Structure 1
């Protein structure tokens, strides 16, 4: 019986963020080598590709305003999003462009909905507008989109200077809108931005910024204003100029989730998660705003960026988790249940569940429709703040029950810039203790605190988990390592590492391809040499192939946090100006 083709519809392959395609029957450690594997084609695109390419096989492409002549028909498709606010549908086997949707056209051709403000020009956001060159020279689509196989819709959030931020539901057949896009926020500023100091939130004067948005929470945090509806409460509104949609979008049980951080710590900004119900997005109800959560409603910062990672969900969708970034370093006062009384979750791993008892006018401490159910904050979070060592620089990884034991059946791992890898029970994340980390692999350090050891040269990506092994590449010019968890679930033991000791800064999350539990290959991006490497999953010291071995296999400039996609015998990599595809050559 033939194995069905693999679809990659979401970041890092699944809602646990495992990073594994276990149905790869064509690529093996025996044939991924310089003699039989290499570049197949390159497709030029109009901007940098920070989002992971997505794969959907057997798509029926239809004629329309975005479709190339002669492209109608059934294709295996790779979807590529760019910082120039374009979305490409490309034949995954030949590189032929099927359709291209730009979100910059002011004329709204066909069923494209770009312009509802009568703008005469729409462009991506120039990097100088946000006071940060982390993504340069323009900011358009950064977070990886997500595809709903049931409705054949792709959800994406483009960023535009004239229209700010929206959420679109795109027909994968032709690139048109299936519904009116949801305006997440439109922000105007009367003066140039002022840079936010990590030491002071409210003392810095700012230009007046006006936010047109339905997304807000009650609180007196950074950028708060009096509720314009006249309740007398202070509210924190979504600021579309300051917030950066870096993380991947998620789709679970007809709900689309989007989260935000900042551009270079320039404020006012917060960590946000927003969820929409899309069960009837093609019908009369369209996008239904279902919940809003803010990580710092009475403070600031605490963005959710995870080096391009994602929310990770329990298998039944009952809860999700994220890691937040730097805050102000103020030691929290805890209530009787151990939660911060000011509802601020900086440098934290946070568990969130639905909250049907609240709405936009009747909120909980962090918003409505969603609520914090548990959290973990490292004991030394204040020193992490001062040193810009975001705990939330790495994305969490949900481990399967097979990785646990009877005492700790539900595990996850997380890590950030400090290089510690935290092994955590999802049944009790650990809360905050000012002297120790209440996690499974904490040991006594030289300062007398119980905390995990440093085991990686900064975690600025999401690890992959295959055959009870964790694979992680350093985010700051160091090696890639493989680990196993000991039987007591109290330690991570490194089992192998790469000979290469410098993959550059911010090389992005690793990917594993395999045929069930065999033929595992670990794919690692290399920003120092602008290459992609393939390693034998049984031993990270065994390199099978890299794109620098053969003339003509060169990759081009690798953007930070780039994640390759491996499916159906091919490897798809986005660069600063193209999609590069590798596969078997004989």
Structure 2
């Protein structure tokens, strides 16, 4: 440890009652560092005694300071810190910044001389409005303050206590930063109150000023640094999302590489997702407004319905055709590959998933992808997990699966963290504050040309590459070598026998043998996939060394592109899981649309010969498509067509299944179409009475009675699902303190699911601490705020008291 410094006394969590961040709140949003000046910029939450109310602490004495610190000395840059409290919103002068009621959660962004930061609420408590602040680091002044809820249709009050008094629409994004491509910034907002559109369709450039549950595009004035709204997207069902606490803003927006992720009429793509179980693919130059799509639905490039909540955002990989990655809470990480429909417009198709699932609680990081010097076949997907720690997989799925890379075990990672990379090393900290550094061993016995590319190799042919290595130290012997894919064959006669002197160079040959292979996937095959595409594997040399302290295993990378001279049919994904439709919600006709891709992976044109399906409907009972390539159509070499398929519950509740076959002169393939339909979830709520029974649903008071210091009294909250589909806890803010949740963050946690005809419980403990003698009886209070995706249930705030 070189230097450490505490810049302020941190704000106390107990002053706001929100337990998302326990104990203290100080520097939460990830700082931004200017590499030209080595200055770190960040916000710190603290107090000014007696600022707005009497006392040294308290919610309304909370403030934010903007810091500029030299990273080499940790000392303040002259003129800093800057107090930002009290600054008025440019777009609504009624509203001004009150640091005690607001939280700076997202990472900071620097555009030109201005550092921008976004703010949201603490568990939707108090009167707050989502805010974007910009500070000019040269003048050390706040140059812009944008309120996400403004104008006469937004809520406003000078009473800072009532929840929702400022309209909400906070920006938190699970810590993900503001996205920018120059003079534009993009972010996503959370729950809000009301709406200017009042259910009427509106263009994204219409100037809507109540921007809750929205993706927002702010224009940045390059001269002044001021920002203004120029475009937005609000899901057509955002009012329902508000009712079910399906916070759109739990995920940020990612702007994808425009050199790859583009298509007809689309030059820039943005991707976002949140608690509502949908991934939205957006045209960043025309986000979509409100109800601008067919039937007053969403005007977006694509909606991928997963029915799985995301806290964070998507990762992307622009090579090998282009992929995006999403990690829902409690589910595997899924990869979606870029494709194009018949009009050349971009669409994403499910390509595969990790065998492992993420933690069943909020806190997983954003998928992060790295490569070795931008070379195809070397991509690694990294993910942090609050339970499992750091994980990694090969980023391109093979046969629908992303293969895990074994790593040294780390502790569980703090919520929403992502690893940092530099100088061939990876850095991450765990929830206990331990810093881990992973990378190539410092003491390597060999220096080799790795990875080695075989280039394009046609199926039913071979290619040979030569690997060269130089001994850094004396090697007693190469004792063993292993190859992950048996089609890569090492000529062992070229491996040196016996000792290798330090400084000596040796070479050996590896042949990629694709002869005499069945050009299809074989179940349980030990060989690598023989279908066309980029393939990679590891070759590991094992040594005994003449000098201690050096590694005894040395992995080398082998990569190449398998090609087929003839036409070759590819049909992905192997399964299209449309998830479950919930029937019976007034005013809704649910459906789900996914994409599958028909591709020609060969080097000659491919002709579609026909289709077959389970039943005598379009794609099978419940499944339809209006964009299948006609029989006889030709897909050019390397071309692909993305086909939208829609699932409707045409025969009511139950399971739906169809096997859909494609026949071509490049082979045949099939994909499975599956989905289900059920009635809506229905929550039944009750509190235990301490006598073995349960209070009625309308009772929201948990009364512990009296307890002596050192004693504990317990009660339970019970939520049962009496509906026909899975019920999800969409909001949970459990208590801490003398009245506390026994299993904080585990019982009734956000995104917890409750099966049909099942119940979930949360135990609450009242445990007064030891008291000096002759202290009069006094009352302790607390709350537990809960909501579910039962739209008829609403927010429940359980009041708790004990004497």
Could you state the TM-score of these two structures normalised by the residue count of structure 1?
0.64
Q: How far 1:168 sits from its partner (Å)?
A: 0.8
Matched position secondary structure for 1:492: strand
From 56, 69, 89, give the equivalent of 1:216.
89
Q: How far 1:213 sits from its partner (Å)?
A: 1.6
Q: Larger deviation: 323-332 or 263-272? A: 323-332
Q: How far 1:342 sits from its partner (Å)?
A: 6.3
Q: Distance in 2 between matches of 1:576 and 1:336?
A: 45
Match of 2:70 in 1: 171
Match of 2:180 in 1: 313
Q: Distance in 1 between matches of 2:356 and 2:203?
A: 47
Match of 1:494 in 2: 350
Match of 1:129 in 2: 15
Checking the alignment, whether the CA contact within 8 Å between 1:254 and 1:277 is kept in structure 2 is: yes
Asked if 1:584 is matched to 2:440, the reply is: yes
Match of 1:304 in 2: 171
From 374, 377, 397, give the equivalent of 1:539.
397
Matched position secondary structure for 1:236: strand
Checking the alignment, whether the CA contact within 8 Å between 1:184 and 1:215 is kept in structure 2 is: no
Checking the alignment, whether the CA contact within 8 Å between 2:89 and 2:144 is kept in structure 1 is: no
1:393-428 Cα shifts (integer Å, max 9, x gaps): 111111122210232122111111112111111221
Q: Distance in 2 between matches of 1:159 and 1:370?
A: 24
Asked if 1:568 is matched to 2:441, the reply is: no
Q: Distance in 2 between matches of 1:336 and 1:349?
A: 14
Q: How far 1:392 sits from its partner (Å)?
A: 1.6
- Counterparts in 2 of 1:42-191, with a 5 A limit? 97-104=1-8, 123-162=9-48, 164-185=63-84
Cα 1:542–1:141 shift into 2, 3 Å: same
From 264, 273, 277, give the equivalent of 1:419.
277
1:530-582 Cα shifts (integer Å, max 9, x gaps): x21110012283444345xxxxx442232211111122232211222312222
Q: Distance in 1 between matches of 2:226 and 2:21?
A: 32
Checking the alignment, whether the CA contact within 8 Å between 1:471 and 1:480 is kept in structure 2 is: no
Q: Distance in 1 between matches of 2:249 and 2:202?
A: 26
Match of 1:390 in 2: 247
Match of 1:92 in 2: none
Match of 1:436 in 2: 297
Q: Distance in 2 between matches of 1:335 and 1:383?
A: 16
Match of 2:495 in 1: none
Task: Note the residue ranges of structure 1 that are not aligned, 5 or more in a row.
Answer: 1-96, 105-122, 186-211, 220-233, 360-367, 442-451, 548-552
1:151-205 Cα shifts (integer Å, max 9, x gaps): 22111111224462111111122010113224444xxxxxxxxxxxxxxxxxxxx
Q: How far 1:218 sits from its partner (Å)?
A: 5.8
Q: Distance in 2 between matches of 1:160 and 1:264?
A: 18
From 192, 210, 227, give the equivalent of 1:327.
192
Checking the alignment, whether the CA contact within 8 Å between 1:527 and 1:558 is kept in structure 2 is: yes
Asked if 1:462 is matched to 2:335, the reply is: no
User: Which of the two has higher C-alpha Rg?
Assistant: 2
Matched position secondary structure for 1:385: helix
Checking the alignment, whether the CA contact within 8 Å between 1:508 and 1:561 is kept in structure 2 is: yes
From 318, 329, 335, give the equivalent of 1:482.
335
Checking the alignment, whether the CA contact within 8 Å between 2:203 and 2:289 is kept in structure 1 is: no
Q: CA RMSD in A?
A: 2.4
Checking the alignment, whether the CA contact within 8 Å between 2:390 and 2:413 is kept in structure 1 is: no
Match of 1:403 in 2: 261
- Counterparts in 2 of 1:437-452, with a 5 A limit? 437-441=298-302, 452=303
Cα 1:486–1:218 shift into 2, 3 Å: closer
Checking the alignment, whether the CA contact within 8 Å between 1:411 and 1:423 is kept in structure 2 is: yes
Q: Distance in 2 between matches of 1:538 and 1:135?
A: 35
Cα 1:291–1:261 shift into 2, 3 Å: same
Higher RCO (C-alpha 8 Å, min separation 6): 1
Q: How far 1:331 sits from its partner (Å)?
A: 6.0
Q: Distance in 1 between matches of 2:107 and 2:405?
A: 29
Checking the alignment, whether the CA contact within 8 Å between 2:314 and 2:327 is kept in structure 1 is: no
Q: How far 1:485 sits from its partner (Å)?
A: 2.4
Q: How far 1:521 sits from its partner (Å)?
A: 0.6
1:73-113 Cα shifts (integer Å, max 9, x gaps): xxxxxxxxxxxxxxxxxxxxxxxx12112113xxxxxxxxx
Q: How far 1:338 sits from its partner (Å)?
A: 5.8
Q: Distance in 2 between matches of 1:567 and 1:336?
A: 45
Matched position secondary structure for 1:384: helix
Match of 2:564 in 1: none
Match of 1:26 in 2: none
Cα 1:465–1:474 shift into 2, 3 Å: closer
Q: Distance in 2 between matches of 1:492 and 1:545?
A: 25
Cα 1:536–1:338 shift into 2, 3 Å: closer
Checking the alignment, whether the CA contact within 8 Å between 2:202 and 2:289 is kept in structure 1 is: no
Q: Distance in 1 between matches of 2:191 and 2:80?
A: 32
Determine which structure has the larger strand proportion and give its number: 2
Q: Distance in 2 between matches of 1:338 and 1:571?
A: 40
Q: How far 1:429 sits from its partner (Å)?
A: 0.9
- Counterparts in 2 of 1:23-34, with a 5 A limit? none
Checking the alignment, whether the CA contact within 8 Å between 1:218 and 1:235 is kept in structure 2 is: no
Checking the alignment, whether the CA contact within 8 Å between 2:5 and 2:74 is kept in structure 1 is: yes
Runs ≥4 residues deviating over 4 A: 333-342
Matched position secondary structure for 2:357: coil
Q: Distance in 1 between matches of 2:33 and 2:307?
A: 33
